[in-house]
Amino acid sequence: MFDGVMNYQITGPTLGFFGGENLSDKHPFSDQNFINFYPHSAEEFKKNITAMYAHYDPQINHANMTMLDSHDTPRALTVLKNKKAIFKQAVLFQMFSPGAPCVYYGDEIGMDGGHDPDCRKAFPWQDPEKWDQDLLAFYKSVISTRKDHPVLSRGDLNFLKADDGVVVLRREWNGKVALIAFSNQDKSSKTQLPFKNGESFEQIFELGGSSIRWLNGVAEITLGAHGAVVALTN
C-alpha cells in the first residue's frame, strides 16, 4: 500500500457537480470511466465522494493528493468553460475536504489549456500583467484559512444535505465543527438545517454573497448563485 496517490477519483465528481451543464467537451480523462466525469446532481456527488473515501483508511485519505487537474489533463478552468465563480467553488471544496491539495502550477493565476501539450504551457513569469490577481488573492485566502483552522484539513467529513443542487458538509476534529455549504445552481437558494441546542457557529468564508445564521437551533443558509459559505463553532 502506498502512503498516498494522485487522487484523480475526486476530480471527476468535483468538476462534475460544480460544473454541471457548464462542463466543456474537453473530457479530461478520455476512456478512464472510473473517474466519473459527467454532470453530477448533488445526490450523485455525495454517492461518488462517499464511495471514494470508503476505498481507503482515513490516514490514507488525508495523504492522497486532491487534484482538479494536472500535466496529464486539460486545465480545470478550461473544463469549466473559464467560469471563474464555478472554478472557485471547486477550489474551495478541494482545500476544505480530506486530503493533501495539489495546485497545478498556474491554476492560481488563471492559466487555461486543453489536452497535452496545451496544459503544459510555460508559466508567464515575465508577464505578471497576465496574472489574474483576483484569483491569486482567492487562493492565498483559502490556503490561509485552511492553515488557520485545522478542522478544515484534519476533520472527518459527513454530508448533512445533498439535494436540489445544494450540498452541506460537516467536518469535526478535536472538539471543533465546521459547516461548509455549496450550491451549483444559477440562482440563489435557501435551506434550513436543525442543530443541537448549544452549538454556536461563526461564519468565516463566503462566495457569491452567501451567508449563514442561527435561529432557535436552526441554521438558515442562504447561497448565492454558484455560492458557498463556511462556518466554525465558536
Model confidence over 126-156: pLDDT tens digits?
999 999 999 999 999 999 999 999 999 999 9
Predicted confidence band of residue 26 (pLDDT cuts 50, 70, 90): low
| 135 within some domain | yes
CA atoms within 13 A on the CB side of 19: 25
Q: How far apart, in whole angstroms, are the C-alpha atoms of residue 12 and residue 29?
A: 9
Cis peptide before 128 (omega within 30 of 0): no
What CATH number does residue 202 fall under? 2.60.40.1180
The last residue of a domain, from among 119, 148, 177: 148
Q: What predicted TM-score, i.e. pTM, was given to this entire model?
A: 0.94
| DSSP letter assigned to residue 111 | -
Beta strand ranges found along 94-200 (DSSP E) = 100-102, 156-163, 166-173, 176-183, 189-194
**Higher per-residue pLDDT: 200 or 212:** 212
160 and 134 within one domain: no
Alpha-carbon distances, residue 148 vs 86, 98, 142, 176, 204 (angstroms): 24, 16, 10, 13, 11
Neighbours of 162 (CB within 10 A): 21
User: Whose CA is closest to 152, among 97, 190, 103?
Assistant: 97
Residue 232 is inside which H or E element, if any?
strand 228-233
* Lowest-confidence region among 22-26, 44-48, 95-99, 105-109: 22-26
Distance (Å, whole) CA 141 – CA 146:
9
Work out the mean pLDDT of the chain and round it to a whole number. 92
Q: What's the average model confidence in pLDDT over 100-105?
A: 97
pLDDT higher than threshold 70 for residue 99: yes
- Which residue shows C-alpha cell 508577464? 127
Q: 157 and 85: one domain?
A: no
Q: What range defines the domain where residue 131 resides?
A: 6-148
Q: What is the pLDDT of residue 73?
A: 87
Same domain, 15 and 117: yes
Per-residue confidence band for 112, with pLDDT thresholds at 50, 70 and 90: very high
Give percent of the chain above pLDDT 90: 77
* 157 lies in the same domain as 141: no
* Percent of residues, the chain, with pLDDT higher than 70: 93
Grid cell at residue 107:
491554476
Q: How many Å apart are CA 89 and CA 21, to the nearest integer?
A: 15
Higher-scoring residue by pLDDT: 148, 31: 148
DSSP H/E element including 6? strand 6-7
Range of 17-26, 34-43, 73-82, 158-167 with top mean pLDDT:
158-167
Residues 5, 25: Cα–Cα separation, whole Å: 27
pLDDT of residue 197: 64
